[in-house]
Structure 1
């Protein structure tokens, strides 16, 4: 059974609308991404409204039946499925990443699938296919900002690769779909349960790329284990800046594969950094492609349009319109145009992806004395991450001249021969150039690789300790916890232009 949220995020404690497949009998459970790789059962739901859905209580549990048209819908239209307006049945709900599961039931309310039986028994589940086909990712924003970190879930990127309904922004060789320039955000697959033409990741076969489980779930688990309080938002929240005020935070996190950005997203992050906020990028191919959201001005975003292959081509297309931002390296210091991608080759005869394994490439340290490397014991010209394929499957590099223009190179890769772009990857810090030639008071840290979260949560990876230490150093430094043994519950933090309080430092215990 398929489902999708009408809006990918909602305010904790409020209701949200869930669109459900027509002509189904089902129940709903809510899970949360917590410390484990399995989702944790949280609660049932309180129903506050329905459209083309009837609901009845059986033994204290809601059973729903949906009506409507079950005709297949195209990828670029609002699917307009029946909806249930629900609220998690818990007295307190913190900001976080939640997963709604709809499982089909018999007339007496008994589940028809193993997934449903797990839900009834409140057992943990893994958010990968086929189970994820019945799941929807929903992000709970904070009622009031309290954490020092703002984590942005890359909703736009998830839908850009989502072929559910017959198309995406990409040539889907697996399902034989041609690339399009418009996709709907009102359809299943926005982070979980998508139809994808992606090759299987040879270094993490449990989950599929371009899915929440593959990227963000890992990083969220790490944050929770570190006791680092974090508020969660989506791309659309960052785009509109109505529910998200970045100036209330010390650091924004961009993780995994945060590829698709609107001009408004860039503007809001640029202003945040200029005013003293920090951006920590643990992602690759970041901010590479420009998009426009339809309906953002009304709060009813339904579509996403791909404007160009990258920001430079968009600027050319619009005759160097000064209102359009240039290369994304102006914001994050690196660009995919000077990095590279390696995902394998498509075999027309076998009709599948082959040669997916990558060359063992790591990062070679250039500035071991920098605070980013504190406690790693790395030496100059020492390489880390090669055995773990830390570099890739997409990686960003330094544009010509950038090392002398605000970007401080801390580590580099060798030339990515045979990769798309064929450049070289880099890790470093960056300060934006402002009007008058001055540099921003806020800073960007960028690892430039998609696979950072994978190695971060792989205890068997040879570079796991180094990757964890760098991540810990960056986040603690950017939120003001610089001392190695400082507690996340310390009462006093350095003064900042961004709001903070003691409650901001408390671990989400939900």
Structure 2
């Protein structure tokens, strides 16, 4: 059965509203993305209100019955399903990424599926199909800021690719839909359980690309393993700026495929950087397409409108340094007569180092002219590049010309400082320029895993103030960098790992 949240995020300790498919008898379990690939069961629920739903307690568990008929609803309308207002039954809920699972049960509460049996006994579950069809992603904001990093979950991008209800922003050859300009946020599929009509990722086919599990879950697991605490928010929180004040944070994280941004999102991030905040972009195709949620301030967003194909003159590069408009993408090709997607794989493409002494590469052992990430296909499936007229982006590494890719530019990785107006506190932007960073970061068997992890660690440590000042590291030797490293740091923070890097 299907479910969706009325709003994609809620404040930890408060209730959130969940919409449930009409005509179903079901129970609910709450899971969280923690350190493991599998989701972790965290709690039962406390119900505060119901509309179009009845509930019975059987052996201490709720059995819900939703009313109404499950009639088809278009992708651009509020589906208006029956709702339950609830909160996780936990005394101190941390900010994080949570997954609600709805599983159908018999009249006496017995689960009718293997997924339900696992949920009822609090066993781990996985956030990919087919189980994800029963799931909804909800983000718990902190009641008060508690971490130095604000992690923004790209729910707008999830909905942009979600064809549930018969449409999305893209042509879907499998479900035979045409590109639309408006999608509803009140339907299943905002991060989990989406209907998608695009090729699977040949380098991680278990989870669809435009889903939370494919990118964000991987990065969150790495952050938790590194003990890097984050407060979690969504695009809508960044847009409204009522529950999120970026001034409370040292660093904002943008991960995976953070493609769709509103002007308000851009404005809030620009002010954050101008005030001394740092933006870490471990995403590709970032901020490339403009949207509007149709809300101002503390709004009740129900839909999302695509405003144009891209920002004028790819001017998102003025904020983040790079643009997909100067990079490239490598996609599958649909051939109806052959019954599916073909040419999904891409050639081995990585980044060639140009500034080995920069603090971003500290402890990696990389040398100028050396390429890392090629055998892992680190560059792709979408890559961002530098504007042809210099905007001040400090390119630390770049891809070869992306011949045969969409656009066919050159991808880049580096550090950027947006133009300031006499503000000495101006922050920095690190941009890795590729969607697949999180995939390699989470794969210990990837050849470039150690290098990618070390670069990520360097960026976040520096942006949180735990490393030497970036200006003083620009031309420092590795020995000088080691001398500036805090006592008690792990060996990986300072050691050279030449074996981890690809040869030229």
Q: What TM-score, normalized by structure 1, do the two folds share?
A: 0.91
**8 Å contact from structure 1 (residues 3, 21) kept in 2:** yes
| Contact 1:174–1:351 (CA under 8 A) maintained in structure 2 | no
Of 377, 385, 395, the residue aligned with 1:389 is 377
- Where 1:55 maps in the other structure, the secondary structure is strand
Change in Cα spacing, 1:488 to 1:63, as seen in structure 2 (3 Å) is farther
Asked if the contact 1:432–1:439 (Cα under 8 Å) also holds between the matched residues in 2, the reply is no
Other structure's SS at 1:264 match: helix
Verify the 8 A CA contact 1:35 1:222 in the aligned structure 2. Answer: yes
**Structure 2 counterpart SS, 1:475:** helix
Corresponding residue for residue 239 of structure 2: 239
> C-alpha displacement at 1:127, in angstroms?
0.4
Instruction: Confirm or deny: 8 A CA contact 1:222 1:457 kept in the other structure.
Output: yes
CA RMSD of aligned residues (A): 1.4
Offset of 1:174 from its aligned partner?
Answer: 1.2
Equivalence for 1:407: 393
Distance 1:397 1:440, change over 3 A: farther
- CA contact under 8 A between 2:242 and 2:297: conserved in structure 1? no
2:466/2:486 contact within 8 Å kept: no
In structure 1, the residue matched to 2:97 is: 97
Q: Could you list the per-position Cα deviations for residues 38-59 of structure 1 after superposition, in whole angstroms to 9, with x for gaps in the alignment?
A: 0001111001000000011100
In the alignment, which residue of structure 1 is the partner of 2:411? 425
Matched, 1:357 2:357: no
2:500 is matched with: none
Deviations 1:298-350 (A, max 9, x none): 5210010000000017xxxxxxxxxxxx6110000000010000012111212
Contact 2:350 2:371 in 1 (8 A): yes
Contact 2:168/2:183 (<8 A) preserved? yes
Mean Cα displacement is larger for which, 477-486 or 462-471?
477-486
Distance, in Å, in 1 between the alignment partners of 2:119 and 2:146 is 31
Alignment of 1:10-409 (within 5 A): 10-297=10-297, 299-312=299-312, 327-402=315-390, 405-409=391-395
Alignment counterpart, residue 402 of structure 2, candidates 407, 416, 424 = 416
Displacement of 1:406: 2.2
- Find the aligned partners of 2:150 and 2:114 in 1 and give their Cα distance: 36
C-alpha distance in 1, partners of 2:227/2:312? 40
Give, in angstroms, the shift of residue 480 of structure 1: 1.1
Cα distance between partner residues in 1 of 2:486 and 2:69: 59
Q: Distance between the aligned counterparts of 2:22 and 2:489, measured in 1?
A: 47
Secondary structure of the residue aligned to 1:387 is coil
* Cα distance change on mapping 1:261 and 1:229 into 2, 3 Å: same
Q: Does the 8 Å CA contact 2:241/2:297 hold for their aligned counterparts?
A: no
Match of 1:474 in 2: 459
Q: TM-score when scaled to structure 2?
A: 0.92
Per-residue CA deviations over 1:120-153 (Å, capped at 9, x if unaligned) read 1110011001100000000000000010000000
Q: Take 1:25 and 1:43, find their aligned partners in 2: how far apart are those partners?
A: 20
Q: How many pairs does the alignment contain?
A: 474
The 3 A distance-change label for structure 1 pair 298 and 145 is closer
Matched, 1:461 2:446: yes
Structure 2 segments unaligned to the other structure (5+ residues): 468-483, 491-504
Shift of 1:295: 3.4
Deviations 1:70-99 (A, max 9, x none): 111100000000000001011110000000
Unaligned runs of 5+ in 1: 314-325, 490-510
Deviation at 1:217, TM superposition (A): 0.1
The answer as to whether partners of 2:200 and 2:209 remain within 8 angstroms in 1 is yes
Once the two structures are TM-superposed, the CA of residue 399 in structure 1 deviates from its matched residue by: 0.5
Superposed CA offset, 1:268-298 (max 9, x none): 0000000000000000000000001123445
* Contact kept? 1:432, 1:440, Cα under 8 Å: no
Q: CA 1:168/1:440 → structure 2, altered by over 3 Å: closer, same or farther?
A: farther
